[in-house]
Amino acid sequence: MLTTLWSKRIVIAWIPALLLAQPSCAYVYGGSNFSLGQYPEVDCGFKPIKPQKPYYHDSYAIQAYNNEVMQYNYDIQQYISCVKEYLENAKNDIQRIQDEMQEAIDKANR
């Protein structure tokens, strides 16, 4: 009976502290690169290679070169988008780690 009364007092004493405590971590929105194991390298394939200017300047060679340039422009935009997504996910992962570190510091200082 005395133990139950004592445990109720402890619980009642902690209720205000728990209600006044504010969580220190913020939820990070966005993607992540985390996986099982080590942090992954960027996986966007090979960077596209710029097309070479045509040796001959006939209409066929110029048209072929223009088509290669259009394809290159599309491919490089896809590559850059992939790298930017990887970097944004990496920033999100860094923020998650910093939030966890701050939460650990806050717990240790309570």
pLDDT surpassing 70 at residue 19 = no
Integer-rounded Cα Rg, in Å, for the chain is 29
What length is written for the chain?
110
Are 42 and 86 spatial neighbours (Cβ–Cβ below 8 Å)?
Answer: yes
CA distances in angstroms from 63 to 48, 52, 59, listed in the order given: 20, 13, 6
pTM: 0.63
- In the predicted model, what is the mean pLDDT of the chain? 81
- Domain residue spans of the chain: 27-109
Higher pLDDT, 97 or 11: 97
Model pLDDT for residues 49-103, shown as the tens digit of each residue: 999 999 999 999 999 999 999 999 999 999 999 999 999 999 999 999 999 999 9
Are 41 and 108 spatial neighbours (Cβ–Cβ below 8 Å)?
Answer: no
